[in-house]
Amino acid sequence: MSEAEPSGQLRASDRERERAAELLREAMASGRLSVDELDERMRLVFDAKTRPELERLVGDVIVPADDRHPIAAQGAEVASDGPRPRVRAGAEGTRRVLSILSGSERKGRWRLAPTCSVVNVLGGSELDLSDAELAAERVELKIFTLLGGAKIVLPDGLDVEISEVAILGGNAIDVGDEQPGHGGPVVHLRLVTILGGVEVRRRSRVEREQRTQLKRSQRELDD
């Protein structure tokens, strides 16, 4: 171990440097960093040898998932009626959902890995992201459907990008006109549908109100 590397400091991986660079680019896009600051920090990120060095470079621009600063709260109200989706960085989580001559369902509290592949062959799957925890600020969800179907439910505050191919089938996509605030998490849906169908939608206002009321009632019962 060199003298420049203090004992006990884990060395940074290429993947961690790329993740730190991604966080800095998001910070610049949201106005937390200037272009010059971004250039300087990006240089330092790719020169960093240890995790603590990376943490120092991104520590003042990462917004906590439970940020309750009054200014942040006002911005959240303008951008969305609901809370920001939970993000906890890490590689673990659901990476594969297979529905072959069967059905699969994910709802409630579950964790979605940075990349997840969903395969529906003569079967179907339903993925509700309303209470899901994301393993990265940007998640890729690949959905292949052959003679089957899939349903994806998105929460408020989760931005979405969609790439789709449909052959002798169709994809019904309705994510609404509401635009989540800048800097929020993003899910990129890659849809390939053959002789089947995929539905992608955001929860309606009525559903959100009913869900909020149900949670409030459950808390009162617990108390």
> How far apart are alpha carbons 129 and 152 in whole angstroms?
8
More confident residue, 188 or 35: 188
44 belongs to a structural domain: yes
**Quick one: 95 and 30 in the same domain?**
no
Torsion over CA: 43, 44, 48, 53 (sign): negative
Q: Is the Cβ–Cβ distance between 185 and 212 less than 8 Å?
A: no
Helix, strand, coil proportions of the chain in percent (round to 5)?
Answer: 30, 35, 35
Please tell me the total count of domains within the chain: 2
**Quick one: 52 and 114 in the same domain?**
no
The three-class DSSP label of residue 100 is strand
pLDDT value of position 129: 94
- For β-strands 159-167 and 149-154, DSSP reports them as unpaired
Which pLDDT tens digit goes with each residue over 111-165?
999 999 999 999 999 999 988 999 998 999 999 999 999 999 998 778 889 999 9
**Quick one: 33 and 99 in the same domain?**
no
Token pair in block for residue 66: 């439970």
Taking residue 183's Cβ as centre, other Cβ atoms within 10 Å add up to 19
**Quick one: 60 and 90 in the same domain?**
no
pLDDT value of position 210: 59
80 belongs to a structural domain: no
Q: Is the Cβ–Cβ distance between 156 and 176 less than 8 Å?
A: no
In the chain, the percentage of residues whose pLDDT exceeds 90 is 39
- CA 223 and chain centroid, separation: 32
**Quick one: 152 and 95 in the same domain?**
yes
Torsion over CA: 130, 135, 141, 147 (sign): negative
Q: Which of 167, 161, 128 is nearest to 144 (CA)?
A: 167
> Whole domain around residue 38: which residue ranges?
1-64
> How far apart are alpha carbons 79 and 68 in whole angstroms?
15
72 belongs to a structural domain: no
73 belongs to a structural domain: no
79 belongs to a structural domain: no
Would you say residue 80 has pLDDT above 60? no
The average pLDDT across 174-186 equals 68
- Contact residues for 216 (Cβ-Cβ < 8 A; gap 6+): none
More confident residue, 84 or 8: 84
More confident residue, 143 or 21: 143
Token pair in block for residue 114: 């940075």
The three-class DSSP label of residue 102 is coil
